[in-house]
Amino acid sequence: MKVTDIHCHLIPYVDDGASSFEEMKRLLKMEHDDGVRRIILTPHFRPEVFETSPRKIKSYYELTKKAAKEVGIRTYLGCEFYRYSGLLENLKEKKGKTMHGSKYVLIEFAPQDLFQTIRNFLYELLANGYIPILAHVERYLECRDRERVQELADMGVRIQVNAGALLGKQGIRIKQYCWKLIEEDLIDFIASDAHDLKRRKPNLGKIIRKMEKKKGKAYVKRIFEENPDMILKKLDNRRNADETNQRNEARAEL
C-alpha cells in the first residue's frame, strides 16, 4: 500500500516545521519507518505570519524531495492556507499553491471561528471550482458537532483529521469525537501534520495499526491511498448524490 501523508511541515526553514536539514532528514526517516511512501508537503501560508516566497519554498522543497527519494519516499508540494479574505483572488492569480496543482486546497481556520464563517468560506471555494480540504476538523470549537461536519461533507468539503487527535493527544473527549466521525464515515483523510521531532512528530504508523484492527484493511487503503490518489491524479473525489443518500439511509437505520 502506498501510504500517503497529505499534510505535514517537513520542508526546513519555510514555516514553523522542520528547523534544519538534519531535522528534515530524521522526520523523513520516521515517516518511512511508519510505512509512509508518499508525502504532500504543505508549508503554511498566512498573511503577516507565514509569507515565505514561492521561490524559497521551491528551492527548499527540491532539497527535501531529494532527501526523501534517498529514503524511498515520493514527495509532492502543497500548501496549508490559513483563511484570509484575499485567498480566492490569490488562487485565481495562481499566487497560492493548491495541492500538487490540483483543485484541492488545504485550509485551516482559527479555533474560535464561527461555524457560519467556516461554512461560508468553504462554500466560496466550492463555488469557484475548488475542493477544500478542511485541515484538522477537530480543532474548531464550532465543528465539534457531528451534524455540522456532515453539513460540510454534504456540501462537498473533504474532511481531514490529525492522527494525534485519534491517538488521544488532545484529550479523551476529542479522541472520542474523532473516532465517532470515523464511525460515521465523515473523514476523508488522516494526516500527521508533523512539524518536528518533539511535540508534533510523524505518527501515521500507530494510527494505521489501530485503524486496521478497528476498521479493516479496505478502509485503511481508502483513507491513506485511494483518497490521496484523487489529489495526486487531480480527480474530484466528491461523493456523489447516490453515495450521500446511501450513507444517510444507513444512518437512519442505526
Q: Which residues bind Fe ion (CB under 5 A)?
A: 80, 193
DSSP E strands, the chain? 3-8, 36-41, 44-45, 74-77, 80-82, 104-108, 131-134, 158-162, 189-191
What is the Cα–Cα distance from 92 to 78, expressed in whole angstroms?
Answer: 16
Q: Which is nearer to Fe ion, 34 or 193 (CB)?
A: 193
Pairing of strands 44-45, 74-77: unpaired
Give backbone dihedrals phi and psi of 108, rounded to 5 degrees, phi first. Answer: -120, 155
Q: Which residue is nearest to Fe ion (CB)?
A: 193
Q: Is 252 helix (H, G, I), strand (E, B) or coil?
A: helix
| Contact partners, residue 198, CB within 8 Å, separation at least 6 | none
Kindly state the smallest distance separating residue 141's Cβ from Fe ion, in Å: 18
Kindly state the smallest distance separating residue 200's Cβ from Fe ion, in Å: 9
Angle, vertex CA 17, rays to CA 12 and CA 23, nearest 5: 55
Kindly state the smallest distance separating residue 89's Cβ from Fe ion, in Å: 23
Kindly state the smallest distance separating residue 106's Cβ from Fe ion, in Å: 8
Q: Which is nearer to Fe ion, 99 or 150 (CB)?
A: 99
Kindly state the smallest distance separating residue 78's Cβ from Fe ion, in Å: 10
Amino acid at 159: I
Q: Which is nearer to Fe ion, 169 or 247 (CB)?
A: 169
Q: Which is nearer to Fe ion, 81 or 177 (CB)?
A: 81
Q: Which is nearer to Fe ion, 78 or 205 (CB)?
A: 78
